[in-house]
């Protein structure tokens, strides 16, 4: 059994500018999964940098509200929203609320630096 507590996972700033804590990654936790799972935070008034992954990603919003941008489309999102981001899509999320925007990121197959391109300009 593997149990990971958020507080035990090191916090770092990801390439897109979000504050991440990596909960599960097959290359780092010795579990037989093909996806990675991270906890992300974006401060009020901030947004992530536009970026593109070669892999599929899902965001699940835990707390706060924001605006999700995928290619030319946008949608307002808040707690309990799941967002599917197709491979190769230009994406970023902005925090439109007064509190931290907190969400989970599931990347399948597992996130690798070589699969991500930071485009910026948000």
45-69 pLDDT tens trace: 999 999 999 999 999 999 999 999 9
In degrees and rounded to multiples of 5, residue 114 shows phi and psi of -65, -20
8 A C-beta contact, residue 33 and residue 63: no
pLDDT tops 90 at residue 121: no
For residue 27, what pLDDT is reported?
A: 84
> pTM of the full predicted structure?
0.94
85-94 pLDDT tens trace: 999 999 999 9
8 A C-beta contact, residue 25 and residue 110: yes
Domains located in the chain, CATH noted: 37-110 (2.60.120.10)
For residue 43, give both structure tokens. 């401060």
- State the sign of the Cα–Cα–Cα–Cα dihedral 26, 31, 36, 42: negative
Average pLDDT of the residues in 64-93: 98
């Amino acid at each position: 059994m593997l149990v990971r507590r958020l507080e035990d996972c090191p916090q770092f700033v990801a390439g897109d500018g979000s504050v991440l804590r990596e909960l599960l990654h097959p290359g780092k936790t010795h579990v037989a999964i093909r996806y990675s799972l991270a906890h992300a935070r974006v401060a009020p008034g901030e947004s992530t940098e536009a970026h593109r992954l070669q892999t599929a990603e899902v965001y699940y919003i835990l707390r706060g509200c924001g605006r999700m941008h995928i290619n030319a489309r946008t949608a307002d999102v808040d707690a309990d929203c799941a967002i599917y981001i197709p491979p190769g899509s230009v994406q970023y999320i902005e925090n439109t609320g007064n509190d931290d925007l907190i969400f989970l990121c599931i990347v399948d197959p597992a996130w690798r630096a070589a699969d991500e391109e930071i485009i910026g300009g948000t």
